[in-house]
Amino acid sequence: MRWMRALRRGVLVAAVLLAGCSDVAWSPGEPPAGGRGPLTFATAGDLTHYLAPLVDDWNRGHREEPVTLVELPDSADETRAQMLSELRSGSSRFDVLNLDVAWTSEFAAAGLITPLDRDRFALDAFLSPVVDTATFDGRLYAVPYVTNAGLLYYRADVLEAAGEKPPATWAELARQARTLAPRYGLAGYAGQLLPYEGLTVNITEAIQSAGGTVLRDDGTRVAVDSDAARAGLAFLADGLREGWIPTEALGFKEEESRAAFEEGRLLFLRNWPYVYAEAGGPGSKVAGRFGAVPLPGLDGPGTSVLGGSNLAVSARSKHPATAADFIAYLTSEPVQRQVLTRGALPPVRASLYDDPSLVASHPYLPILRQSVLAAVPRPKSARYDQVSLVVQAVGQDVLALRDTPEEGVRRLARELSAVSNGS
């Protein structure tokens, strides 16, 4: 997903400064039955260069089972396409796959990745919602590796000057965006509203934050025809119609919206945690003047979509026992700590969010933990790519005010039903 590329790029400086961390101390448990030997680890491009040292640490202790790191394109769409092409050809080239959380169900349903033994991994030590992203049809098909949840960034200086607190509901956000922002020469609120995966995330979050859902847990039952879904779409459409969401936000992805906030043009921004380091860094016009809170919702705290990635074993791997050991290594506490400090990616280990030294250097961790614990995965479906395209197409028409929220919900229900039925 493209937020991951922006996340990696946005924290390059931090990764370089911390690249001198000591080697990981890790001892594998008893491996499951299966083949052992060298592995190939396929992932999207690592722009912060934190993965290669972690693979080197593994290789120093496993000279008979070395791992070769294969970096695919930075684009999530291209990475997914190359992985699917390789696996569908019957190739055993890739052993371990770093999958966007939204792809796990698709790859599992297609038989491209193999079920895993829950007892092999320390799942109880993970933030509980992230484990759900790695399951399909009641079975574990991957192990969570990194996670993410959306945050609401706000201009702390503006709210303080106005004697206001950060909004906890949509009504508060809309009022402040409509009344305070113009007073300070700012636009009110923006998310990622260009038709791509980010729009799917923003619309899904709006529906969930009003108490609704798009698909039921099994991914086959469409549940979007609800008052909650209409309220979620109306929240975004009303913002555009009333002007407190600027029309330029219809062209925003993660980086465009981040830049608008850092340039001092927005009162509120929905984005991922990587923005915290960027907005507080050199060159940012809002450094020292902003804060972050969990997303607001219809009547109280909202519900973010879970981002991140999961580690899976190819169904064609000749060395699944070693692959399981390698996944256990990457999700161990010492390595997860380096995933945060070297790669600045949010870890899945719950204990790291309470570590005083990590909170001191990453002050958003407690807020992020709160958001992750309240977050839910994107709609699970073996046809997730089609589900996402439907949400984007309908959402684009609603936000461009070509369809009403009521018409949009009817279209979503109708078109998602067609996807679920395979038509």
The DSSP secondary-structure symbol of 124 reads: G
Q: Please, is 289 exposed, middle or buried when counting C-beta atoms within 10 Å of its C-beta (0-12, 13-18, 19+)? A: middle
Tell me the two tokens of residue 92.
């055993």
pLDDT band with cut points at 50, 70 and 90 for residue 11: very low
Give residue-wise pLDDT tens across range 186-201: 999 999 999 999 999 9
Rounded to whole angstroms, the Cα distance separating 73 from 402 reads: 35
pLDDT of residue 216: 86
Q: Residue 347: how many CB atoms within 10 A of its CB? A: 28
Q: Are 295 and 303 in contact (CB under 8 A)?
A: yes
For residue 396, is pLDDT > 50?
Answer: yes
- pTM here is 0.85
pLDDT of residue 230: 98
Rounded to whole angstroms, the Cα distance separating 143 from 123 reads: 8
For residue 219, is pLDDT > 80?
Answer: no
Mean pLDDT of 59-74: 95
Query: For 82, left (φ over 0), alpha (ψ -120 to 50), or beta?
Result: alpha
Rounded to whole angstroms, the Cα distance separating 390 from 85 reads: 23
Q: Are 307 and 147 in contact (CB under 8 A)?
A: yes
pLDDT of residue 12: 35
The vertex-334 CA angle with 336 and 321, nearest 5°, equals 80
Q: Are 350 and 126 in contact (CB under 8 A)?
A: yes
Q: Which residues contact 95 (CB under 8 A, 6 or more apart)?
A: 39, 40, 41, 313, 314, 317, 318, 319, 320, 322, 323
Share of the chain above pLDDT 70, in %: 91
Tell me the two tokens of residue 419.
């996807």
Q: Please, is 30 exposed, middle or buried when counting C-beta atoms within 10 Å of its C-beta (0-12, 13-18, 19+)? A: exposed
Rounded to whole angstroms, the Cα distance separating 269 from 277 reads: 14
Assign 3-state DSSP to the chain and report helix, strand, coil percentages, each to 5. 50, 15, 35
Closest to 72 in 3D by CA, of 49, 103, 97, 42: 42
Backbone angles phi, psi at 363, to 5 degrees: -65, -10
Q: Are 236 and 177 in contact (CB under 8 A)?
A: no
Return the HEC string of 216-276: CCCCCCECCCCHHHHHHHHHHHHHHHHCCCCHHHHHCCHHHHHHHHHCCCEEEEEECCHHH
Q: Please, is 33 exposed, middle or buried when counting C-beta atoms within 10 Å of its C-beta (0-12, 13-18, 19+)? A: exposed
Query: For 265, left (φ over 0), alpha (ψ -120 to 50), or beta?
Result: alpha
Mean pLDDT of 199-228: 92
pLDDT band with cut points at 50, 70 and 90 for residue 17: very low
Tell me the two tokens of residue 134.
């790695």
What mean pLDDT value characterizes the chain? 91
pLDDT of residue 334: 97
pLDDT of residue 19: 34
H-helix or E-strand spanning residue 399: helix 384-399
Higher-pLDDT residue of 219 and 3 is 219
pLDDT of residue 217: 66
Q: Are 151 and 294 in contact (CB under 8 A)?
A: yes
For residue 13, is pLDDT > 90?
Answer: no
Highest mean pLDDT among 39-53, 272-286, 395-409: 395-409
Give residue-wise pLDDT tens across range 242-265: 999 999 999 999 999 999 999 999
Give residue-wise pLDDT tens across range 78-120: 899 999 999 999 999 999 999 999 999 999 999 999 999 999 9
- Window from 215-219, 380-384, 392-396, 405-409 with minimum mean pLDDT: 215-219
Mean pLDDT of 335-343: 94
Q: Are 212 and 232 in contact (CB under 8 A)?
A: yes
Give residue-wise pLDDT tens across range 20-57: 333 333 334 333 445 899 999 999 988 778 999 999 99
Q: Please, is 10 exposed, middle or buried when counting C-beta atoms within 10 Å of its C-beta (0-12, 13-18, 19+)? A: buried
